[in-house]
Amino acid sequence: MSLTSLGPINSSARSEEQHPLTWRLREDGAPVWLDEYRAKNGYQAAETALKQAPDDLVNQVKEAGLKGRGGAGFPTGVKWSLMPKDESLDIRYLLCNADEMEPNTWKDRLLMEQLPHLLVEGMLISARALKAYRGYIFLRGEYVDAARHLNRAIVEAREAGLLGKNILGSGFDFELIVHTGAGRYICGEETALISSLEGRRANPRSKPPFPAAVGVWGKPTCVNNVETLCNVPSIIGNGIPWYQGLAREGSEDHGTKLMGFSGKVKNPGVWELPLGIPARELFEDYAGGMRDGYTLKAWQPGGAGTGFLLPEHLDAQMFSGGIGKVGTRMGTGLALAVDDSVSMVSLLRNMEEFFSRESCGWCTPCRDGLPWSVKILRALERGEGNPGDIETLLQLVSGLGPGKTFCAHAPGAVEPLGSAIKYFRDEFEAGVSKESGTEDVATLQMDIGA
Amino acid sequence: MSNNALIMTDRFELSGALRAAIEEEMHHYEDPRSASIEALKMVQKEHGWVPDGAIYAVAGVLGIPASDVEGVATFYSQIFRQPVGRHIILVCDSMTCFIGGHESLIDRLGEHLGIGIGQTTSDDRFTLLPVCCLGNCDKAPAVMIDDDTFSSVTPDSLLQLLEQYP
């Protein structure tokens, strides 16, 4: 059976200069093991990095302008420089967030299944920059092929002296361990990930203190996404001017990004593209537009937690500021096409069922608010909604928004809901029962919501 | 958790090999507690699910309270605290698979196997559960049966796939 991640990218044209993440992929989709990876310049950046001072590495990543690829887009170099300067704090950890579970996100699976050594090399260089003696790859349990391939890559690297003690004679020691999870979306939230790695329920933690100060087992810790870490070798190997020349004109973000389109498009897939590419190019030239018989009704730029946009927004450029300009976030950069056969009320019902189920239950607005939204959306879907239901949903959108809950789970849950009501309010209104004599109940619900 | 879960109702002995594997796992972390999830997964791999007695046994090896192990066991969706079928069917129910028609897969499984989400067939062959986005969205809908991931599944192809899992 071929790997799940085998897709159109394996047969697309790629070059070392323009596709630093994916140029080494094989057409047959088989994993690139150590010999082939080294033959394709693998670990040369690590050799360069091991001769440099950790702070120089941090500065290069900071100047290159790399931003986190897990969805939040925080500048990686800035995150790295938050690690304590106090040298006596010498037990430090680098955690790779490989808990890819964001609905409509299928990029880290590709990197880990087919290019495990790219992640190992990225973590080795990053660990050197952060002075971490040990790294953990927090991998979701369902990615069984990725776990197998990463573990084999780690064994290969250790046998070649690329992990372990005194790596390539540099005096730097680094161990890498794959830790697999057992479900629950919330593990991808970085402080929940730390709780889970410690063997606890995956409840998020208060920030501050930030993980850089108090992370796993109370030690300085940096958590980076798989794709973020895979960007590091080429930045160190090819330099900042090259990296900053990758993105399209007009993009404030640098480098390439794994982007994709799914839904009822002709050619769904993931590709490595320059940041700043117009979403329309991704949709039309790469994904081939909609399948015959389907019309694009709405789209989401990057995962369940991003807002819905309309077809007219396809001219937006795919980078954080470009998508920000049209009112939402780029998120993971893997877009979803919603076609005209899909009811927005049903789609949002499905999404809020997901967010509601995956709430860790730690804080009240999220634990109680999300099931409430599900209850209303189910009623609207059946055409049994009450007058005032849409207002209640909008109250939930604002009451569960940024800053109102312990972590970003609930804000991510209500962002698509708010935008769906904004653009498709008539569909929600159509779910309010015509013969509803239940105004008392509606008033009561509004009172509770107030 | 049932009312009597804190009373050890079933004896559970960790095999020597399982105990050794858990102890080995503990060395990967600063704190043995970190091995709790992996230990429960190992128990489950051998026994199919995690009975009450195993909670105490794992707690004993890790040196942490049984209530903490129970807290972990009941939090994570892929740890089963009640008996399940020989094979686990995980249907991705995220929005992309919703658009791809995952609800028709669940309906067909219901007609064919007589079970809904969270239920086990009377012959203990299959348990049906939902799962978060399987990261296979360009080939939706996606289904996992045990350790195998399947792409672009249709109600008909799903029934054929089941034949591989006796």
Give the burial class of A167: count Cβ atoms within 10 A of its Cβ; 0-12 exposed, 13-18 middle, 19 or more buried: buried
CATH 3.40.50.11540 for domain A34-244, yes or no, is: yes
Q: What is the pLDDT of residues A259-310, one digit of tens each?
A: 999 999 999 999 999 999 999 999 999 999 999 999 999 999 999 999 999 9
- pLDDT value, residue A450: 39
Count other C-beta atoms under 10 Å from residue A411's C-beta. Answer: 17
Query: CB of B33 within 8 Å of any CB in chain A?
Result: yes
Residue A449 has pLDDT above 70, yes or no: no
Contact state of B136 with A201 under an 8 Å Cβ cutoff: no
Residue A427: partners with Cβ closer than 8 Å, 6 or more residues away: A343, A344, A345
Q: What tens digit of pLDDT does each residue of A63-79 get?
A: 999 999 999 999 999 99
Residue B53 is encoded by which pair of tokens?
């007695």
Match 């986190």 to its residue by tokens.
Answer: A68
Query: What pLDDT does A2 receive?
Result: 80
Nearest to B136 among A4, A264, A347 (CB): A4
How many beta-carbon pairs under 8 angstroms link A with B? Answer: 143
Q: How confident is the model at residue A436 (pLDDT cuts 50, 70, 90)?
A: low
Of residues B5 and A346, more confidence is placed in: A346
Q: What band does B17 get if pLDDT is binned at 50, 70 and 90?
A: very high
- The pLDDT of A383-406, averaged and rounded, is 97
Give pLDDT tens digits for B129-151: 999 999 999 999 999 999 999 99
**What is the CATH code for A344-447?**
1.20.1440.230
Closest-approach residue (CA) in chain A for B36 = A199
Answer yes or no: do A181 and B76 touch at CB < 8 A. yes
Q: Which residue in B has a C-alpha nearest to residue A101's C-alpha?
A: B133
Q: Across residues A351-375, what is the average pLDDT? A: 97
User: Which range, of A33-47, A436-450, B85-99, averages the lowest pLDDT?
Assistant: A436-450
Q: CB–CB of A179 and B149 under 8 A?
A: no
Tracing tokens 């009822």 back to the chain, one arrives at A264
User: What per-residue confidence (pLDDT) applies to B11?
Assistant: 77
φ, ψ for residue A284, nearest 5 deg: -85, -50
Point out the residue among B78, B94, B138 whose CB comes nearest to the CB of A260.
B138
Closest CA to A299 of A325, A330, A276: A330
Bridge partner list, A274: A256
B2 has pLDDT over 60:
no
Classify the C-alpha dihedral B21-B22-B23-B29 as positive or negative.
positive
Kind and range of the H or E element at B88?
strand B87-92
Class of CATH domain A256-339:
alpha beta
Query: Mapping DSSP to helix (H, G, I), strand (E, B) and coil, where does residue A96 land?
Result: strand
Quote the CA–CA distance of A112 and A197 in Å, as a whole number.
19
Closest CA to B145 of B121, B164, B122: B164
- End-to-end Cα spacing for chain B: 31
Domain boundaries, chain A: 34-244, 256-339, 344-447
**DSSP 8-state assignment for residue A307:** P
Q: Which of B29, B78, B139 sits opposite A182 (nearest CB)?
A: B78
ω before A208 within 30° of 0 (cis)?
yes
- Check CB contact of A352 with chain B, cutoff 8 Å: no
pLDDT band at A434 (very low <50, low <70, confident <90, very high): confident
Query: Rounded to whole angstroms, how far apart are CA atoms A69 and A86?
Result: 28
What average pLDDT does the structure give for chain B? 94
Contacts of A219 in chain B (CB under 8 A): 30
Type and span of the H or E element at A108 = helix A108-114
